[in-house]
Structure 1
Amino acid sequence: MGLSVDMLKESDIGFHGIILTRPAYPLGKISLDAVFGTPSKFRKEKLGFEVVDWESQYHAILGRPDFAKFMAVRHYAYLKLKMSGNNGTATTIHGSFSHSDNCDRDFQKIASKF
């Protein structure tokens, strides 16, 4: 992405449940434009990301403030996220169970090496 550690701002947020018995802390945070959808139906907002230095199947985790900013409705069972788009129409983001499962398997292989 062309980003360097020097671009990160200090963060004091800890993640719990990632490392057993202790919180994990990010390297820092950064604000980036996030775009969801297609060119005809999209939504763009600036979001704050906590940058971490550990192997994970997740590339980004959206928290409650981000869902509120997008006024998004999520359905975990169907891997769908709905939000209003650029022209007021609903934009639906579709997840993939097979892609998620493959990422999880890859992560388990990496984690088993430690």
Structure 2
Amino acid sequence: MTSQAENAKIRHLAALESARRAKETLISIRKKQDRKKKFVECKNRNHKRFMLGSLVEMAGILKVDEDTLLGGLMELANILNDPAKTTTTALWKQHGAATLAQHETARLKKVK
């Protein structure tokens, strides 16, 4: 027969082993969640890049060389970050929204 102290020690060791396994499981679950989060972020970033490529194509500047396009985009970034240019950017937004709506209407007509 085992004493109460020995039984308590055995239960204690079993509890420690159970806690170790639970901790390993938790770490594994967190790693899996982190990988999934990174995958989703990468997928969203790639989708946004794809959509921006579509906008470049819609704007008719797909064949512009990379240096010119990058310079133009950098100038655009300067204008967008200048609070004094809000009227200009508001007009751009209206024109862009109208063009996107027109493009979507044309796309839906092709689908039907």
Q: Calculate the TM-score normalised by the size of structure 1.
A: 0.23
Between structure 1 and structure 2, the one with the greater Rg is 2
Query: Which is bigger in relative contact order (C-alpha 8 A, separation at least 6)?
Result: 1
Q: Which has the higher strand share?
A: 1
